[in-house]
Structure 1
């Protein structure tokens, strides 16, 4: 005869069973996180590039394309070089490139608001910030307040315009108190040198070359700003992103790996860039000392997306952009 005594359900067991059942019910009703999309329709990706940015370094070194071929079976075709981000984005929108080269995000915002069916595939930043408003050595302009009534060259909806507008705001000057002349760098340089414009808002290395070649003086530098609102971005056609999420992920990883190598090999990178852009040893050594670096942000980085939304809102409020834009409506889904 067994000495085991069978007992009925206790209060504790009933409560435990009920709790377990309730938890199971909650779990069954909880929406599961969707798996990331997969797939691709091509074995070739066309990357645009600019000499002095991460894309240009990657093209010159050749490691990025080797990694993509070895790990993902992707062949890279380089498209460019481009003088600034706007024509790179136009190439993507027009179908002659798949990725823009990682330039000013403000230009990307403007293109999307202008109707281009593009999304952001990757974000970045380059440090230290180096854009400046410069004048010729004989200019009577000594401060931002002296820019009132003067003509200043800048690229439309890009880093040059952003720094100029932010500098004016910081010194209590309305943008309609100056004459903003929209020129891309290849046209702005001669206009500045010949005196057709009074000042120029421009980034490195062009600004350093102008300081050296024209003895240009700084009126304001990006380091004087009390906030940063423009970052780097790589844009792709929306249809391309929807059909090729595997390529978006692969290229993002390749650029992330490239940035890590660049940041660890500053001296070698600066010699490489000098050979491409042909600036002086003094400028090269300045960059080596500054230890320039590239930072990469994924399109799902919530903290960075919040910064980008603040950026878009600021650009709209200050008429750099014509309308409001919600950044999260224009991201590649990966």
Structure 2
């Protein structure tokens, strides 16, 4: 039996309505902004999860974790991520390479955990003893920076040490196996090496480094996702305040998320004493000094005026 034109039209209407209803949730989901957030081991995700800082978001977060600043900077350059935490020295290295990013938030911390490590049985006692020795670190990382600061402060020239560029896991193995004499690294790797008794601090960054790090964002993300970035930064700042009021709870969450023992997580966290601060004249002057040092030792070839690498329109009040 053939259908009447009226029945055929009715079926088409019902099918079309059903298709519309099925599509509505998908359409709604696509209207939420997505923040592509880069992170480093022991960074922002653990902090936000521990503090409940990811509740009530009006946008979605797509997390990508990196073992160090260099691959994070590469992802920012490729716009594979919108933002991420990065130290002062790696940010300069990225900017000198042409990465179109700006620092939108700044924090200061105790620099002790950015350090040159040696094996517990090493005969090396001071930075001057590094002459002629091999040091493993990431190229352009804060570990690279503390290496150069440590040796130049001891009166050595960069060419008087053998720097081997290795990722953190490979550098740790090289130190443990004795194929390098030292490893220049940062937290939580320093605390993990200390608490596991695989290494000791030869030279710490305390007194050598300004202790600055940033939340950086690409120029494209700043232009298109500014309210999202502002909200994300504000959540990070509030979570940081919470963390120092709840040290044990945060340390346990950090240990679980990044897969290190709780004692290492607590050690690196407590001694950092990290605080988010305004991007003021002091921050800019310290960042300029770091850029000038990198130029002086030949790691960047051109003079970098850092004033244009900050966006001071983001608030960081808790």
- Are 1:238 and 2:238 an aligned pair? no
Q: What is the correspondence of 1:177-192 to structure 2 with a 5 Å cutoff?
A: 177-192=160-175
SS at match of 1:142: coil
- 1:266–1:292 Cα contact (<8 Å) kept: no
Aligned to 1:294: 274
SS at match of 1:313: helix
Aligned to 2:33: 43
Aligned to 2:129: 146
Shift, 1:205, TM fit: 2.2
Shift, 1:84, TM fit: 1.0
- 1:241–1:332 Cα contact (<8 Å) kept: no
Shift, 1:214, TM fit: 5.2
List gaps (5 residues or longer) in structure 1: 1-40
Deviations 1:25-59 (A, max 9, x none): xxxxxxxxxxxxxxxx972212112341234322x
| C-alpha RMSD of matched pairs (Å) | 2.4
Aligned to 1:303: 282
Shift, 1:221, TM fit: 1.6
**CA distance 1:54–1:294, change in 2 (3 Å):** farther
SS at match of 1:107: helix
Aligned to 1:76: 61
**Cα distance between partner residues in 1 of 2:156 and 2:271:** 34
**Cα distance between partner residues in 1 of 2:297 and 2:166:** 19
Calculate the TM-score normalised by the size of structure 2. Answer: 0.80
Shift, 1:203, TM fit: 1.5
**Cα distance between partner residues in 1 of 2:271 and 2:122:** 32
- Are 1:220 and 2:203 an aligned pair? yes
- 1:242–1:333 Cα contact (<8 Å) kept: no
Aligned to 2:236: 255
**Cα distance between partner residues in 2 of 1:132 and 1:302:** 27
SS at match of 1:66: coil
SS at match of 1:46: strand
- 1:210–1:216 Cα contact (<8 Å) kept: yes
> Paired residues, what number?
283
SS at match of 2:81: coil
Calculate the TM-score normalised by the size of structure 1. Answer: 0.76
Work out which of the residue numbers 53, 62, 70 in structure 2 matches 1:64. Answer: 53
- Are 1:103 and 2:89 an aligned pair? no
**Cα distance between partner residues in 1 of 2:118 and 2:43:** 25
